Structure 1
Amino acid sequence: MTHAKGARIRVRGLQPAQVLAGLAGIAFLVVGIIGFTRTGFGDFAGHHEAGFWRFSANPLMSLVRVVTGVVGLLLAFGSGRARTFGWLLFIGYGLLFVWGLMIDGLISSNPFATAGNPMDLGPADTWLHLGVAALGLLIAVLPARRTILVPEDETVDEPTVVERHTDHDADRVVTSDERPRRRSFLRRDHDERGPEVTREERPPGLAH
């Protein structure tokens, strides 16, 4: 088994928070540019009839959306920066949501009543800002995909126990007593031919 000393945990690859931050930045940038094309730059903080479906738009609000989109695209290139963008969305558009509730009269007291409605916020815009704040919170708290980096020169291998079997029979030295004896050629020939053959080959004078 191998253990690593000095292993580090790092963020791996493109993170979901970065993807959402980039998509949100593109959406805000596109909507802000379209808003400028519909309202122009006149009456910068006034009321304009041209909007998007039920959502209001004036040059000031379009500028806020363009700035939000640019910031989102810039901060989407890093995991930590994307989460920072999420917190900015949550705080900024959360405050716009509360301000919209005050303007619409859903909150009894409006301490900013003297400021009027410079962004031309309507009921639909108020609830849209609540959704944007929720998206920002999601971007900020999304878990990151991480990986463990193990330096190759700092790995330590644990000693491995290897069972060693010794074959005593293989290591034993064969002695001279245990070696097979060689039989002579004549002895082997005598054993193969038998006693009768041997008796017949003797000279006649020596036969008994």
Structure 2
Amino acid sequence: MTQSPNRLVATIFGAVYLLVGVLGLFVAGGNIVGEEGGLLLGIFQVNHLHNVAHLIIGGALLAAGLRSTPAAKATNTTVGAVYLLLGIVGFFLVGTALNILALNTADHILHLASAIVLLGTGLALDRGTTTRRAVA
């Protein structure tokens, strides 16, 4: 298996987000959806829906990282863009009924940091792995 930066980042982030999703299931308590949640590592607020999202995202990243460089590149870029949006919008959701993932400031910062790494890797590295159209 040829290792590329996108595959490496997708695999590592995928494994970490899967682990976070599993660990979060133990601290979320009975909070399935909504503003309330348990604290993972004492700072990240999570509920079961938030954990399921981490499991899905982690699984997608890990699968893409193990599959191919183009798959990892596309998944890193997509997940990075979603995390960028969530990181920004999340600040406005806190304290409202729309905060169904029990997001807090630590979550926003982590989502923004993940977005920077995933988007940066997806957009800037492994450029030769995408199909380019010839310009006439």
- Cα 1:84–1:72 change in 2 (3 A) is same
Does the 8 Å CA contact 2:23/2:40 hold for their aligned counterparts?
Answer: no
Whether 1:89 aligns to 2:71 is: no
- Matching of residue 54 in structure 1 with residue 43 in structure 2: yes
Deviation per CA, 1:128-164: give whole Å up to 9, x if none.
Answer: 1110111111221243387xxxxxxxxxxxxxxxxxx
1:15/1:145 contact within 8 Å kept:
no
Aligned residue pair count? 126
Task: State the Cα distance separating 1:52 from its structure 2 match.
Answer: 2.2
RMSD: 2.1
Give unmatched runs, 5+ long, in structure 1. Answer: 1-11, 106-112, 147-208
Normalized against structure 1, the TM-score is what?
0.55
5+ long unaligned stretches in structure 2: 129-136
Alignment deviations for residues 58-106 of structure 1 (CA, whole Å, 9 cap, x no partner): 101100000011001111121100011111122211121122121248x
Residue matched to 1:69: 58
**Could you tell me how far apart the structure 2 residues matched to 1:52 and 1:144 are?**
34
**Any conservation in 1 of the 2:47–2:102 contact (CA below 8 Å)?**
yes
Q: TM-score, normalised by structure 2?
A: 0.82
Rg (Cα) greater in structure: 1
Quote the residue 1:188 is aligned against. Answer: none
Give distance in 1, aligned partners of 2:125 and 2:98.
Answer: 40
Check 1:49–1:29 CA distance in 2 against 1; reply closer, same or farther (3 A cut).
Answer: closer
Match of 2:10 in 1: 21
Residue 115 (structure 2) pairs with residue 133 (structure 1): yes
Give the 3-state SS of the residue equivalent to 1:56 in structure 2. Answer: strand
- Conserved 8 A contact 2:27-2:38: no
User: Residue in 1 aligned with 2:99?
Assistant: 117
Q: Check the 8 A contact 2:73/2:123 in 1, yes or no.
A: yes
Specify whether residues 144 and 91 from structure 1 end up closer, same or farther in structure 2 by C-alpha distance, changes over 3 A only.
closer
Corresponding position of 2:89: 99
State how far apart, in whole Å, the 1-side matches of 2:94 and 2:25 are. 25
